[in-house]
Amino acid sequence: MVKGLYTAYTGMLNEEHRMDVITNNLANIDTTGYKKEGMTSQAFSDVLGYKIKDLSEAPATARYEGILNLGVKIGEGYTDFSQGPYRQTGNTYDIALGGSGFFTIEYTNKAGETSTMYTRDGDFTVTQDGVLVTRDGDFVLDPNGNHIQLDPLVESVFSQTGQIFQNGEVVAELGLTDFENYDYLEHYGENFFYPVDGATQIPATARVDQGFLEQSNVSTVDEMVNMIALQRHYETNQRMITTIDSTLQIAANDLGRMQ
């Protein structure tokens, strides 16, 4: 195997995966509460360092380190949970969260199965029956996991702690949830998250702001700059493959004929 070809191929494959992430971020620039994603690349020295320090195998013994693959190894994906900018709407049921925390949503899939999801998208509305739901019709939950029932004919006022007032009285409260480590949250769909094994819930400290929506935290300029850089990296790997191919043609045709 020509090692240079493999190195260039893995480089191209890595840039393709990174391009997929960037284009997905750009496609969700206008998605309320969207958190941009990224992808890392792993260097051989880092992988070797983790392997050497791995005590799950017998320590102080000779161990098989695996096959040495040159080139780039695609690392882990990650989500940037930084605060997105606010957009003022003035709508009664448009709610933004300032700080750490998520709205708690009862999500229903196409098969009719329900599960608890978490989101920063506060683009809510009230049904004719007075139930607070998302724009897709999923129920917004209170701290006890119940649906939030309101009087659709009475004005609602949201306090910064999440309490909902009608006619000057507290009638309901938003169920706000936070997690100790966001590494245990998986992205689902456009702007939902769900916890995996290891996730620990903690009280949310987010501030509730009525009449605002949190926008995507994707920077168009940054993503476009990254896209241009990725295209150049991809082209560099392509030229490497072309150069090696030309070298192999000379070795196989010209040098072989001379012998």
Reading the chain (259 residues) residue by residue, the pLDDT tens digits are: 577 777 788 888 888 888 999 999 999 999 999 999 988 776 655 666 556 666 665 555 445 455 555 666 666 788 999 999 999 999 999 999 999 999 999 999 988 899 999 999 999 999 999 999 999 999 999 999 999 999 999 999 999 999 999 999 999 999 999 999 999 999 998 899 999 999 999 999 999 999 999 999 999 999 999 999 989 988 998 888 888 888 887 777 776 565 5
Contacts of residue 214, Cβ cutoff 8 Å, sequence gap at least 6: 32, 33, 83, 84, 85, 86, 87, 96, 97, 120, 121, 122
Instruction: Provide the percentage of residues in the chain whose pLDDT is more than 90.
Output: 63
**Distance of alpha carbon 232 from alpha carbon 213, whole angstroms:** 36
Identify the pLDDT of residue 246: 83
Identify the pLDDT of residue 132: 97
Q: Tell how strand 139-140 and strand 176-179 pair up.
A: unpaired
**Distance of alpha carbon 197 from alpha carbon 228, whole angstroms:** 37
Q: What is the pLDDT of residues 130-149, one digit of tens each?
A: 999 999 999 999 999 999 99
Identify the pLDDT of residue 67: 52
Give the amino acid at 176: L
Give domain limits for the chain. 3-81+237-258, 86-214
The DSSP call for residue 252 is I
Identify the pLDDT of residue 117: 96
Identify the pLDDT of residue 53: 61
| H or E stretch covering 126 | strand 124-126
Identify the pLDDT of residue 56: 60
Neighbours of 9 (CB within 10 A): 15
Identify the pLDDT of residue 91: 95
Whole-model pTM? 0.79
